Amino acid sequence: MKTNFKQIYTSSGFSTVLMMIILMVMGLSLLISFNLLIVSWQKAILMESQYYQKFNQASSSLTWAIIQNWQPPKTNWYCMTDPNYHLKACIKKSLLKIDNYVLVRGEAKDFYLYTLTHFDNNRLIVEKGHWLDYCPEKKAIYCE
């Protein structure tokens, strides 16, 4: 007796192709999410870098202001600039009821640092502990 065993292979590799597509989609989604993470880190680093640049510029403006000769302060801001180093500082009489302070503002674009000083003989006299990163006046309009 003669038996003819013939195996018929009808699979055409569809499952392999499907598995490759699934792996490629998973890999692509991982790459996209990693790219979004990198972009968000870059934005955070850029914002932090810009903050520190402005902070250092405003701090330098305050330090520079202390060694300048100023006119007697009035109730409005009076500003001086140093074009070589792009420094800008302003002074005015503080509205605080104690100690007859002069408010000094160091500027860097839209960033401000403040310090409270005393005015004596066209010079600003700084006391320790009066550096501020906010305006001490009661109303924000008096800081503008």
User: How much is the pLDDT for 5?
Assistant: 56
Residue 137 — pLDDT band, cuts 50, 70, 90?
A: confident
Whole-angstrom Cα distance, residue 27 to residue 15?
18
Give the pLDDT mean for 114-119.
90
Phi/psi at 3 (5° precision): -115, 130
User: How much is the pLDDT for 9?
Assistant: 56
Whole-angstrom Cα distance, residue 58 to residue 108?
5
What is the value of pTM for the model shown? 0.73
Nearest to 95 by CA among 126, 73, 68: 73
Whole-angstrom Cα distance, residue 3 to residue 52?
87
Q: Give tens-digit pLDDT for 5-63.
A: 555 555 667 888 889 999 999 999 999 999 999 999 999 999 999 999 999 999 999 99
